[in-house]
Amino acid sequence: MMAVANGVVKQNKGSAASIYGDYLLMLFAPCFMAYWYYGVRSLLVIAASVAAAVITDILAGIIVNKKIDISDPGSVFTGAAIAVMMPSSVPYYVPVFASVFAVAVVKIPFGGSLKVPFVPAAAGFAFASVCFSEQVFAYTAGVRGSLFGATSLGSMLMNGRAVYVGEASVYDIIGGNVAGPMGTGCAILMVACAFYLLIRHPKALISSASFVAVCVLMVALFPRVTASFRTNLVPELCSGSLLFAAVFFVTEPVTQPEKVINKIVYGAVCGAVCMAMRLLGAYEEPVCFAVLLANAFRPIIDSAINNIPKFGKKASRKEVRAE
């Protein structure tokens, strides 16, 4: 049990700047898409969220007598990631509270960006989903006119309404021109971010690949709409923040396991929980809850897989002595 607890707060080898630098760079793309589809207000929401996260980080650091690390962009990433998952019309206090929660409750008490057992941004968004569900899921049409007006893909799927995926609409859907979270709806952009991550940190995408694969499998097995597989799959993947979480949260090196097989299981657990929650849960976008649950299960996954006996491999003298 102690080993499990130690595994959660294990010190990460890289620095916060090197880990979050790439993620922050990738996050510019969703921020730009938010501005493109929803105008200046989206940037103001992002700025408010980032400011809240950074100020909370500084204040909490002063309270707990912790040295303030200016090179740590973890709080900036957390604030921006929370904001791009929200609608552009959200009241400013919602992302502010979410960012404060993420930093003050998830990041600081566990010892900073490199020791967090949970993804702070996912925790912040989950907190906002619970506390301000009306505001967080009240999506609006973009300034350039969205495909289905103010109706999001997630709400259509929740109500069992099929989304026609024709040649005319598919580009709008994968391009993010549908009401939804202001920066996470563009699937093309998420794929581009995944390619960037593939070049920079190839192993990080293993859990992401298994996450998406299990989501696709779940869509095939348990479709929410009685229509073709394609009609179910495209809106499921493009709705809400699923792909965003696959690229930005599931791959986060601090919270995901180190071994390849563990990464695969971790991503699969995350995907299965996410799709199960979409099928049975009350929230339109439960991917952050799924990420948090997968984070919580991570030590158990590590422990279970590491304790599987390796057949055909001779036990070392040290292992025999330990037995």
Partner 1 sequence: MNNSISFKDALKKGAVRYNPVLVQLVGLCPVIAASTTFVQAAILSAAMCAQLLVISIIANALMKSLPRWIRMPLYLLIGLAIVCPVLYYFETYSLGGISLGMKIYLPLTAVNSVVAVHCEQVAVKSNMKLTVYDAAASGIGGTVIFLLTGAVREILGHSTFAGVRLNLPVTLKGMTLPFGCLIFLGFLAAGLKKILPRTEPVREDISEEVKEEPAAELAPEAYSESVPEEESKANGADDVFGIAENDLEDFLKSVGIELNGEGDSAQ
Residues in touch with partner 1 (CB under 8 A)? 93, 97, 105, 109, 127, 130-133
Of the pair 105, 143, the CB lying nearest partner 1 is at 105
Q: How far is the CB of 131 from partner 1 (least distance, A)?
A: 5
Q: How far is the CB of 5 from partner 1 (least distance, A)?
A: 16
Backbone angles phi, psi at 214, to 5 degrees: -70, -35
Angle (CA) 175 177 181, round 5°: 100
Q: Please tell me what DSSP assigns to residue 39.
A: -
**Residue whose C-alpha is closest to residue 207's, from 274, 153, 154, 281:** 274
Chain mean position to CA 8: 18
Of the pair 18, 133, the CB lying nearest partner 1 is at 133
Cα(95)–Cα(97) distance, integer angstroms: 5
Distance of CA 44 to CAs 48, 49, 93, 213, 265, Å?
A: 6, 9, 12, 35, 38
Q: How far is the CB of 277 from partner 1 (least distance, A)?
A: 16
Buried b (16+ CB within 10 A) or exposed e, 33-52: bbbbbbeebbbebbbbbbbb
Of the pair 104, 186, the CB lying nearest partner 1 is at 104
3-state secondary structure of 269: helix
3-state secondary structure of 1: coil
Of the pair 28, 93, the CB lying nearest partner 1 is at 93
Contact assessment for residue 268 and residue 217, using Cβ atoms and an 8 Å cutoff: no
Cβ neighbours of 63 (radius 10 Å): 10
Of the pair 96, 158, the CB lying nearest partner 1 is at 96
Of the pair 105, 150, the CB lying nearest partner 1 is at 105
Q: How far is the CB of 301 from partner 1 (least distance, A)?
A: 22
3-state secondary structure of 179: strand
Q: How far is the CB of 54 from partner 1 (least distance, A)?
A: 21
Q: How far is the CB of 104 from partner 1 (least distance, A)?
A: 9
